[in-house]
Structure 1
Amino acid sequence: MSRIVLVHGIAQEVLGPETLLAEWYPALSDGLTLGSGPGVPREEVSMAFYGDLFRQKGHRGPGVPELDAGDVEDGIERELLLQWWEHAARLESRVPGPGDRTRLRTPHLVQRALDALSHSAFFAGIGERLMIGAARQVRRYFTEPALRDTIGQRLADTLTDRTELVVAHSLGSVVAYEALCARPERPDVALVTLGSPLGVRNIVFDRLRPAPTHSRGRWPAPVRQWVNIADGGDLVALAKELGPLFGDRVRDLPIHNGARAHDVRPYLTAAPTGRVIAEALAGHAR
């Protein structure tokens, strides 16, 4: 009956809704248990899946086509990589910053950013191709209207009149925000965003639909309460607090996920997240 709808982020193109739900549901249940909340049966939880829309078409040769700095497009892709670089350099001393003299060793600005990010704990073990691929999915979402509409419709089709809570991670929080704004007539829901990039100026916030007015994002009409949860080391959630941009009704909650700052599983297993989810479900019942 979709009492809870989950919305994933980028880099899920080779998975599917049931595969992802099999990963997320145990973490969701653990968070509820640790937060002293009641459990939610699996049949009451659904995954709004859109990853397949980013899956590449078949090509000759094995593996995924390589991407390098020369493939990074100006605009969203380039600016997102540079913002990740700047933020990582502020958080970690081992990451050389854009203003360091070491930047002169590599002539290409984007290549310097990729090289620097490879030293960060956040991107540990992730190659250049995956970093570029992540930025590319964000760019495609905002620059391909048909893709954006289809993704939003996937979420709308997963929501039911009995849906009480939407839990959205990473780019999924943008999908959830826009889809709920576009459907003011639907029954009210609670919204929990995890590692959200909604507050990233110039790249995300200023491209939202509906467009912000006077530097303030519109409140999604069906949302009765909104809790935003962000780890201080999460590079995707560059703006940790959404209240200043979307209003005082947003409750911003800091959290610590350890080495996997952006991974959805430590977000979900955290007791504070479990308490927030339990409170949202209880609030709907009252």
Structure 2
Amino acid sequence: AGHRALGLPPLDAFDVEQGLEEELLLGWWEAAAAAERRVPGPEEPARLRTPRLVQRALNALSHSAFFAGLGESLMVHAARQVRRYFTEPDVRSAVQDEFAKRVTDRTEVVVAHSLGSVVAYEALCAHPGWRDLTLVTLGSPLGVRKLVFDRLVPPPAGGAARWPVPVKAWTNVADAGDAVALVKELAPAFGRRINDVPVHNGARAHDARPYLTARETGAAVARALNQSDTSR
């Protein structure tokens, strides 16, 4: 029912495209199995990508505290959203443009969740003229090698990503059980200036709501706004 409410066509394992969509679902499966006992994991690393294997991944993810609420079709749509952003230049450009429209001279803090943190990072890198912004990333997949990190613009060099010029402070908040934020600490790849903060969101490890209402997130935003007030 979820995909119908959102106006999305129903999708299943046979609709999953080879490449990035498959890799994302299998990566989420492995991460969820490692974090939650209720999620059955693959018996061995999967070499053969087939609809049956993808179906097993979707079935296993349905046992995950986070993915259970999505349903099979929305899980496929989530993987497709990521794939389209990284492989379709027109989609990427349109998303970046929408983000840029919302940043004004009065913007002080950017809070970005999940794929939104990728959009925010790339947009901030693309606009060095923006100044003195605080970035707070929540449940971010930015550090996931091959699937996300190595597809970023600007591309990382020597295993290190570029620091976005407009960002004066960056707090990254991640739940240990978040299967999307596979790499919990971004500082090793994005710069030691990042403050990596662990958080416990309960059963819904990747949901935006517990991230946004977490005390750690509020503290990061409040700190940025207080510093802005004192500098005026």
Same fold (TM over 0.5): yes
Residues 66 and 203, structure 2, Cα contact 8 Å, conserved in 1: yes
- Name the count of aligned residue pairs: 222
Q: Partners in 1 of 2:51 and 2:220 — Cα distance?
A: 47
Report whether the alignment pairs 1:223 with 2:167: yes
Report whether the alignment pairs 1:205 with 2:145: no
- Decide which structure has the larger Cα Rg and report it: 1
Q: Partners in 2 of 1:147 and 1:253 — Cα distance?
A: 31
Residues 112 and 137, structure 2, Cα contact 8 Å, conserved in 1: yes
Q: Partners in 1 of 2:8 and 2:27 — Cα distance?
A: 26
SS in 2 for 1:124: helix
State the Cα distance separating 1:64 from its structure 2 match: 4.1
Q: Partners in 2 of 1:89 and 1:73 — Cα distance?
A: 22
Q: Aligned letter for 2:123?
A: A
Q: Aligned letter for 2:201?
A: N
Report whether the alignment pairs 1:273 with 2:198: no
Aligned to 1:179: 123
Report whether the alignment pairs 1:67 with 2:11: yes
Aligned to 1:133: 77
Q: Partners in 1 of 2:14 and 2:110 — Cα distance?
A: 38
Q: Which runs of 5+ in 2 are unaligned?
A: 45-49
Report whether the alignment pairs 1:170 with 2:114: yes
State the Cα distance separating 1:107 from its structure 2 match: 7.8
Aligned to 1:156: 100
Q: Partners in 2 of 1:122 and 1:99 — Cα distance?
A: 22
SS in 1 for 2:172: strand
Q: How far does the alpha carbon of each residue in 1:176-223 deviate from its partner, in whole angstroms, 9 at most, with x for none?
A: 000000011122200000111111111110000000000111000000
Identity %: 65
Q: Aligned letter for 1:259?
A: A
Q: Partners in 1 of 2:118 and 2:170 — Cα distance?
A: 13
Q: Partners in 2 of 1:64 and 1:269 — Cα distance?
A: 28
Q: Aligned letter for 1:172?
A: G
State the Cα distance separating 1:109 from its structure 2 match: 1.2
Residues 175 and 198, structure 2, Cα contact 8 Å, conserved in 1: yes
- CA-based RMSD of the aligned residues comes to 1.8
Report whether the alignment pairs 1:196 with 2:140: yes
Q: Aligned letter for 1:69?
A: A
Question: TM-score, normalized by length of structure 2?
Answer: 0.91
SS in 2 for 1:146: helix
Q: Partners in 2 of 1:120 and 1:159 — Cα distance?
A: 35
Aligned pair partner of 2:86 in 116, 129, 142: 142
Q: How far does the alpha carbon of each residue in 1:62-99 deviate from its partner, in whole angstroms, 9 at most, with x for none?
A: x6432111110111100000000101111122211112
Q: Partners in 1 of 2:209 and 2:63 — Cα distance?
A: 23
State the Cα distance separating 1:125 from its structure 2 match: 3.2
Distance 1:68 1:107, change over 3 A: closer
Q: Aligned letter for 2:130?
A: R
